[in-house]
């Protein structure tokens, strides 16, 4: 390590300690001098001390850090204990903050400066947001906490354990991909729940649906269709959410294809432009019909997501995947259009990516745009079927009208393009 590099890393260690110290000093600005174990300067020096200890270990080897850390922590703990006795409190935040400042200072010298900077900023934000965090925890219900923990287990415990390969005789079921879709549905439901809590029924539902459409508009459709059965009075904002997710999905498809093959942008505008505009207009219509929420009963959500309903979606998706695979095998070697229609029922991304890569070479541009439009139409058909199976009657007919208009426009675009 060069001298310049070492100086820069020590400066980072000092800066992180100073950042933490400024936050601690502001939080304890009303405490009299001598009434706290560490202030702004002390935390800055603690960060620098950690950096120096790491530098000494790099220079001389041995167990410098192993001895330096307890040599710092024990005296600091005594000062923290004295502060607790004077203030009559029992918080360990000051002690843990001092240890974190020392560790981050050491990491700044011996590890990644980017990781150190991010960790230091994250630690400072957590310290600064004490009251909002406590208020959030106080308002948190058991159902919300359980759902959050369940989503974390589903994502970071179960998902990595599943094999990322097909396990069935038809080569159709990939456990990790199927479970990933289940996780996405749960995440979309949770995001919608949070948006409704923060922004209200009208804006919260549409915003969450638009964000969910970037990941999986099918997941949004399933979630909102199911909600319409339990909350029929909120059909209009839920319908606006579904059409918003469909709009974002088409825009997302076009963006992916256009990024891979810029020459596809103009044909895609012809093929997908009118359907996208119609879906956006339907979203605006449903949104405005809610009349700003006047007289609209509150959408009382008691649980971010129901695991049983989400697992049913996983089973349905598995059945569709197997059916699509069997159909493909029975049909033999499919041309692009039937292949797009079959694969689009489950996922539009594979066919979109594949066609965009060969557009303009193996496949003419206008034909590539038509194939992508076919996949999008098949995907909309699948989502319409999900709405009809899971949604309320009022939801189904409203979305069906929008679907019919969109399908008609897509057919016209396919005929003239």
Q: Could you say which of 115, 136, 157 is where a domain stops?
A: 136
Q: Is 165 helix (H, G, I), strand (E, B) or coil?
A: coil
Q: How far, in Å, CA of 168 to CA of 296, rounded? A: 48
**Strand ranges for 87-224 from DSSP E:** none
CB neighbours (10 Å) of residue 204? 22
- Which residues, at least 6 apart from 88, have a Cβ–Cβ distance to it below 8 Å? none
Same structural domain, 306 and 391:
yes
Q: How far, in Å, CA of 373 to CA of 211, rounded? A: 22
Same structural domain, 166 and 290:
yes
Q: How far, in Å, CA of 285 to CA of 119, rounded? A: 45
Give kind and range of the element (H or E) at residue 368. Answer: helix 365-390
Per-residue CA distances from 256 to 208, 264, 351, 352, 367 (Å): 21, 10, 11, 8, 17
Over residues 269-294, the pLDDT tens digits come to: 888 899 999 999 999 999 988 765 44
CA atoms within 13 A on the CB side of 123: 26
pLDDT at 91 over 80: no
Same structural domain, 221 and 336:
yes
Range of weakest confidence among 105-119, 182-196, 377-391? 182-196
Q: How far, in Å, CA of 20 to CA of 123, rounded? A: 8
Among left, alpha and beta (phi > 0; psi -120 to 50; other), residue 297 is beta
User: What is the structure's pLDDT at 193?
Assistant: 82
Same structural domain, 169 and 226:
yes
Compute φ and ψ for 363, nearest 5 degrees: -125, 135
pLDDT at 304 over 60: yes
Same structural domain, 119 and 213:
no
Same structural domain, 168 and 277:
yes
Q: Could you say which of 136, 169, 204 is where a domain stops?
A: 136
Same structural domain, 314 and 330:
yes
The mean pLDDT of 4-30, rounded to a whole number, is 91
Scan for tokens 């505009």, then name that residue. 277
Same structural domain, 126 and 197:
no
- Which residues, at least 6 apart from 344, have a Cβ–Cβ distance to it below 8 Å? 351, 374, 375, 376, 377, 378, 379, 382
User: What is the structure's pLDDT at 295?
Assistant: 47
Cβ pair 275, 409 in contact under 8 A: yes
Q: How far, in Å, CA of 362 to CA of 231, rounded? A: 50
The mean pLDDT of 61-86, rounded to a whole number, is 86
Q: Could you say which of 117, 136, 155 is where a domain stops?
A: 136
pLDDT at 297 over 80: no
Q: Is 153 helix (H, G, I), strand (E, B) or coil?
A: helix
Q: How far, in Å, CA of 357 to CA of 80, rounded? A: 62
Same structural domain, 298 and 280:
yes
Same structural domain, 63 and 148:
no
Same structural domain, 148 and 209:
yes
Number of domains observed in the structure of the chain: 2
Closest C-alpha to 354, from 268, 219, 253: 253
Cβ pair 183, 151 in contact under 8 A: yes
Range of weakest confidence among 171-185, 195-209, 251-265, 295-309? 295-309
Same structural domain, 181 and 130:
no
Q: How far, in Å, CA of 360 to CA of 404, rounded? A: 31
User: What is the structure's pLDDT at 202?
Assistant: 77
User: What is the structure's pLDDT at 333?
Assistant: 46
Closest C-alpha to 345, from 318, 376, 368, 315: 376
Cβ pair 164, 173 in contact under 8 A: no
Q: How far, in Å, CA of 120 to CA of 34, rounded? A: 26
Which range marks the domain in which residue 124 is found? 3-136
Per-residue CA distances from 134 to 121, 127, 128, 129, 284 (Å): 19, 11, 12, 9, 38
């Amino acid at each position: 390590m060069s001298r310049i590099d070492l100086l820069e890393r020590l400066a980072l260690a000092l800066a992180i300690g100073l950042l933490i110290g400024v936050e601690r000093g502001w939080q304890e600005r009303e405490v009299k001098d001598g009434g706290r174990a560490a202030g702004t300067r002390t935390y800055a020096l603690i960060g620098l001390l950690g950096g120096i200890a790491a530098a000494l270990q790099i220079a001389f080897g041995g167990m410098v850090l192993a001895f330096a850390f307890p040599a710092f922590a024990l005296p600091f703990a005594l000062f923290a204990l004295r502060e607790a006795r004077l203030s009559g409190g029992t918080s360990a935040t000051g002690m843990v903050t001092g240890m974190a400042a020392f560790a981050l200072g050491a990491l700044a010298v011996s590890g990644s400066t980017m990781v150190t900077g991010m960790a230091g900023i994250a630690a400072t934000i957590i310290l600064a947001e004490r009251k909002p965090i406590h208020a959030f925890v106080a308002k948190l219900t058991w159902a919300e906490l359980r759902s959050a923990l369940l989503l974390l287990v589903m994502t970071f415990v179960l998902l990595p354990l599943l094999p990322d390969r097909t396990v069935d005789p038809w080569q159709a079921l990939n456990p990790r991909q199927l479970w990933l879709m289940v996780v996405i549905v749960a995440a979309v439901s949770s995001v919608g729940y949070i948006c409704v809590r923060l922004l209200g029924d009208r804006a919260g539902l549409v915003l969450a649906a638009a964000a969910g459409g970037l990941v999986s508009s099918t997941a949004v459709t399933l979630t909102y269709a199911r909600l319409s059965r339990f909350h029929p009075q909120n059909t209009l904002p839920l319908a606006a959410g579904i059409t918003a997710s469909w709009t974002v999905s088409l825009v997302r498809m076009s963006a992916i294809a256009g990024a891979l093959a810029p020459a596809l942008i103009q044909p895609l505008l012809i093929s997908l432009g009118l359907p996208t505009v119609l879906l956006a207009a339907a979203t605006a219509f449903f949104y405005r019909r809610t009349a700003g929420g006047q007289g609209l009963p509150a959408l009382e959500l008691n649980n971010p997501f129901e695991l049983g309903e989400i697992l049913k979606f996983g089973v349905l998706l598995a059945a569709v995947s197997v059916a699509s695979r069997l159909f493909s095998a029975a049909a033999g070697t499919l041309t692009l259009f039937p292949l797009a229609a079959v694969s689009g029922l489950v996922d539009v991304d594979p066919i979109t990516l594949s066609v965009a890569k060969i557009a303009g070479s193996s496949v003419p541009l206008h034909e590539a745009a038509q194939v992508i439009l076919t996949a999008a139409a098949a995907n909309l058909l699948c989502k319409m079927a999900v709405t009809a199976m899971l949604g309320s009657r009022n939801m189904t007919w409203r979305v069906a009208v929008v679907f019919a208009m969109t399908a008609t426009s897509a057919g016209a675009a396919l005929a003239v393009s």
